[in-house]
Structures are given as C-alpha cells and as structure tokens.
Chains A and B, each alone.
Chain A
Amino acid sequence: MAKSNKPVIWGLFAAGGTVTAFVTPALVLLTLLPAAGVMPELLAYDNLRAFAGHWLGKAAVFAVIFLSLWHAAHRLRVTLHDFGVRADLLVAIVVYLAAAAGSLAAAYYLLRL
C-alpha cells in the first residue's frame, strides 16, 4: 500500500481540535480576567515562572501551543480552499511552516526559562 502522510497530519489536527475544545475557552477567560480587575494567582510573574520552570509545566504549555497552531494551520489550509484559493501546495507549505516556526519558538522560550 502506498504510504501517506495523511494520518499524521489529520491525527495532529484532531488532537489539536480536541485539546483546544477543552481548554481554550477557560484559558481565554483566564487572560481576560486581569482586564476586569481580577488577577488569577497563576498569572503573577513568580508563579507563572515557577509553573513554566517545571518540566511538566513546560510540556503542558508546549503541547497547548503546538497543537493549537497545528490544528489552526490544517483547518486554515482547508478553509482557504473553501474561500476559492486553489494554490494548495503553496498554502500547505506556508501554514505548516508557520505552525512549525511558532512551535520551535515556544520550545526556545521554554528552554530559556
């Protein structure tokens, strides 16, 4: 049988869709609260630094950013087709490269902590 990269691309898309479905609304609320005058304890510099300093925290932050970006990239590729853009190869290269660059940047910042 011919090899296909589809299962990997779609698997990560589905994983990202599931993770973002569960956590993104709560995360958005979390970063919206400071504007309402409520500062969640985790967002204080020392606490967030300690959280992201732990390897488990690093893994969680990386997973959320990587899967969100991958999910968005893949769905954007399909959505652009639906909006009439037919240069799929170019679109695929741009969106996946952007997701990869963002993920690498996340890893770099996490390792600097």
Chain B
Amino acid sequence: MTGKPYVREVPRFGWFFRQPRYMRYMAREVTCIFIGAYAVVLLVALKRLSEGRQAYEAFLQALTSPASVIFHLVVLAFALYHTTSWFNVTPKAMPIQAGEDFLPGWVIVGAHYAAWLLVSVALLVLAGAF
C-alpha cells in the first residue's frame, strides 16, 4: 500500500457533542445511571421493610421530602426515555418474519407501547394507587 491511510480523529471525550444523533445515543446510554439508582432505592426499601415497622415507616416518611420528590421526577424522566428508546428499536433488535416479508416496524413498536400501557395501569391498580 502506498501513502498513509486516513485515520479520522475521534477525541476520547466530548465526541458526542458533534452531532445530535450522538447526543441522543448518549442520552439513551446514561439512562442506566438512573435505572441503577432507582434499583438502589428499591433495595433500601426492602432493607427497611426487613427491619420492621418503625424503620419502614421512617422510609415512607423520607419519600415525602423535597429531595425525594426531585430525585423521583428526574428518575421518571430518564426512565421514560429508556422505555421509549428501548421500544423504538425493537423492530431492529427482533424483526419478525411473516411469510415472505417482515412485519412492519410500527406493528412491533405499537404492540410494545400497548403492552406497556396495560402493564403500567395494571400495576398501579393492583397496588391500590387509585
């Protein structure tokens, strides 16, 4: 081979600021921090529950603090971004063949959104939130 091969420079950090699509990719990736943080909240709830009524009721009380409300709202925003970005790629992650053709993407995505709505409402109703 003659000449120097072209190597496109990619900075180690901050490369995702270059393009909106890279930013959307990174937004999707950082949702994991909030999914993980909420799993820790569930773990703490479980710990308090195992410690008895008093410990658990103190935890419930802590849920009403302003810091907890802000935390929940931020987690909710990222959780919703995780859900929509996860469902929107399902036709690519698991294409379904029907005869000669593939099932249109919107059918697969739509089925996920419908199931999500059903699961969410069922969960809130069964938990006695209404």
Chain A residues in the interface with B (C-beta under 8 A): 14, 17-18, 20-35, 38-43, 45, 47-49, 52, 61, 64-65, 68-69, 71-76, 78-79, 82-84, 86, 102, 105-106, 109-110, 112-113
Specify the main secondary structure of chain B where it touches its partner.
helix
Specify the main secondary structure of chain A where it touches its partner.
helix
Asked if B38 and A109 sit within 8 Å, CB to CB, the answer is no
Asked if A41 and B127 sit within 8 Å, CB to CB, the answer is yes
Q: Which listed residue (A35, A42, A43, A75) contacts B69, Cβ 8 A?
A: A35
Q: Which listed residue (B41, B50, B83) contacts A25, Cβ 8 A?
A: B83
Asked if B60 and A34 sit within 8 Å, CB to CB, the answer is yes
Asked if A30 and B129 sit within 8 Å, CB to CB, the answer is yes
Q: Which listed residue (B36, B39, B53) contacts A45, Cβ 8 A?
A: B53
Contact partners of B53 in chain A: CB under 8 A:
45
Contact (A42, B46) CB under 8 Å given A68-B36, A82-B26: no
Contact partners of A68 in chain B: CB under 8 A:
35-36, 38-39, 42
Contact partners of B72 in chain A: CB under 8 A:
28, 31-32, 35
Asked if B82 and A24 sit within 8 Å, CB to CB, the answer is yes
Asked if A21 and B83 sit within 8 Å, CB to CB, the answer is yes
Closest chain B residue to A14, Cβ basis: B93
Closest chain B residue to A18, Cβ basis: B86
Contact partners of B38 in chain A: CB under 8 A:
24, 27-28, 68
B101 to chain A, nearest CB (A): 25
Q: Which listed residue (A18, A26, A73) contacts B36, Cβ 8 A?
A: A73
B73 to chain A, nearest CB (A): 7
Asked if B79 and A24 sit within 8 Å, CB to CB, the answer is yes
Closest chain B residue to A46, Cβ basis: B53
Q: A48-B56, A69-B36 are in contact. List 4 more A-B contacts (CB 8 A).
A: A22-B120, A32-B76, A45-B49, A79-B26
Which chain B residues numbered 24 to 63 have a C-beta less than 8 Å away from chain A?
A: 26, 29-33, 35-36, 38-43, 45-47, 49-50, 53, 56-57, 60, 63
Asked if A109 and B124 sit within 8 Å, CB to CB, the answer is no
Closest chain B residue to A28, Cβ basis: B76
Q: Which listed residue (B12, B49, B64, B119) contacts A35, Cβ 8 A?
A: B64
A102–B42 alpha-carbon span in the complex (Å): 11
A18–B116 alpha-carbon span in the complex (Å): 10
